[in-house]
Amino acid sequence: MIHNAIVRDGEQTSGAQNRKVPTSSHHVPNSVLLIEAGTNSAPEPAAGSLRIAVLAHLHHPIASPFAGGMESHTAHLITGLLGRGHEVTLFSKEGSVVGAPVVPVLEAGFLVQGYPEDERTNHQHDILDQAMELAVRTVGEGSFDVVINNSLSPIPHRFQLEVPTLHIFHTPPLPRLIEILQHNGGRVSDHLNRYVTVSQANAVPWRSCVPEIGVVHNGIDLHQWHHLSEPQKGVAAWTGRIASEKGTHVAIQAAREASLKLRIAGPIHDREYFRTMIEPHLDKDITYLGHLDQPNLQHMIASAEVFLSSPLWEEPFGLTTLESMACGTPVAALPSGAMEELIGTTGGVLARNRDSNALAVAALRARDMDRGQVFARAERFTLFEMIKGYEKILYSMVSDPLGPDAGKQ
């Protein structure tokens, strides 16, 4: 276990009880991680709890308002695990703020500039890979019971730890991951590695290289989202990362075709896309409200008649869609990825195809749905159920005799 993980700017250490973690890249924060032992050690965890290292996606800090679904998932995951009495340490980009010790492995000032098709792609990969290698080495030098790899990095797969590791896939298969996982005919679960993803829909393409992949649906704290705002007639909402694969432009066109006003909120991940495809269409009926904090986002969604979900890629889950249902706001969604799995028949209406006209028709149908039934659909995807699912896997990996399945044949 990493006892009393301390980050001190510029401090040098010596002595048998302290080990300095190597920081070969200037993109690593100017800090020293001290791994302390002896009389100043942190107290042992309660019986049955686990010492868990979480490897985060390094593109953004894990801090609210979240840059995207992965960052939100990581924060919810840590909150839930802490609530269950586990000790959690997060390895992430500098600037992360969670209720657990944070070990920054990449400076906050390093900004990922998308993935341009030139030499900058390899440079960005090199920096991100170096940072993740530092995280993996540091975890290996600690005394963790288990690791949760919540990143998109190939490094935890390439340099496997001698610590049980649960790998969570949040996207469809990525080329850099497939290259590693398909080596020797595919990756199978063993006593050191388990693989899960966030929906049945997303599990299908992964099974070609990870045949035994499991599913743990994402979940949220419904009490943070349930809202009794009176919906404003003729108003729709759209939230999420503003990028081409999220189809914000399709939602705008659908809103116009359905004669709905549209409120848009979320971080701008692709500024060229925003400049050319979104900004020219903003007016009194189509408005961009910025990257809102959770209370304002909740009010915006809950006060809308309908939520437009417009993914143009195979959406692995759709946390913003779940947040809308938790507000009681019915969803109109393009039939992409896990949308049907998520909204079912009571959380919203699935469009017949992936165009703006079909989404507009779905929106006009969805806005009159029973908001109580919409919320009831969201209750299938709670933070408690998500954490319970992960806990079951973690306990089975470490063969903890005090785990929830101990003694079962």
- List pLDDT tens digits, range 48-104: 899 999 999 999 999 999 999 899 999 999 999 999 999 999 999 999 999 999 999
Strands 286-288 and 348-350 come out as unpaired
Poorest-confidence range of 12-16, 158-162, 270-274? 12-16
pLDDT tens-place string over residues 197-209? 999 999 999 998 8
pLDDT on residue 44: 44
Query: Which residues on neighbouring strands pair with residue 236, listed in sequence order?
Result: 262, 306
pLDDT on residue 111: 87
Rounded distance between C-alpha atoms, residue 367 and residue 332, angstroms: 8
Question: Most distant CA pair in the chain: distance in Å?
Answer: 70
For the cut 90, the answer to whether the pLDDT of residue 118 exceeds it is no
The label of the residue with tokens 């809950």 reads 302
pLDDT tens-place string over residues 275-291? 999 999 999 999 999 99
Q: Residue 237 burial (CB < 10 Å; 0-12/13-18/19+)?
A: buried
Cα–Cα distance list, 90 to 51, 133, 188, 386, 394 (Å): 11, 15, 26, 19, 17
Complete domains list, the chain, with CATH = 46-215 (3.40.50.2000), 222-378 (3.40.50.2000)
pLDDT tens-place string over residues 390-409? 999 999 998 744 433 433 33
pLDDT on residue 115: 54
For the cut 70, the answer to whether the pLDDT of residue 358 exceeds it is yes
Cα–Cα distance list, 107 to 111, 112, 308, 375 (Å): 9, 12, 35, 40
pLDDT on residue 184: 52
Rounded distance between C-alpha atoms, residue 284 and residue 172, angstroms: 37
pLDDT on residue 24: 38
pLDDT on residue 2: 34
pLDDT on residue 48: 84
pLDDT on residue 251: 98
| CA atoms in the 13 A half-sphere facing the CB of 239 | 33
Rounded distance between C-alpha atoms, residue 103 and residue 144, angstroms: 14
Rounded distance between C-alpha atoms, residue 66 and residue 238, angstroms: 16
DSSP single-letter state for residue 333: E
pLDDT tens-place string over residues 216-264? 999 999 998 987 678 999 999 999 999 999 999 999 999 999 999 999 9
The mean predicted confidence, pLDDT, of the chain is 85
For the cut 80, the answer to whether the pLDDT of residue 323 exceeds it is yes
Strands (E), 94-245: 102-106, 146-150, 165-169, 193-197, 214-215, 232-239
**Cβ–Cβ under 8 Å, residues 259 and 305:** no
Higher-confidence residue of 9 and 275: namely: 275
**Cβ–Cβ under 8 Å, residues 356 and 250:** yes
DSSP three-state, residue 250 = helix
Mean pLDDT, residues 183-193 taken together:
71
For the cut 70, the answer to whether the pLDDT of residue 39 exceeds it is no
| CA atoms in the 13 A half-sphere facing the CB of 89 | 28
Q: At what angle do helices 319-326 and 69-83 cross, to 10 degrees?
A: 60
Q: Which of 134, 128, 119, 172 is nearest to 154 (CA)?
A: 128
pLDDT on residue 65: 92
For 234, the token pair is: 């003729």
DSSP three-state, residue 348 = strand
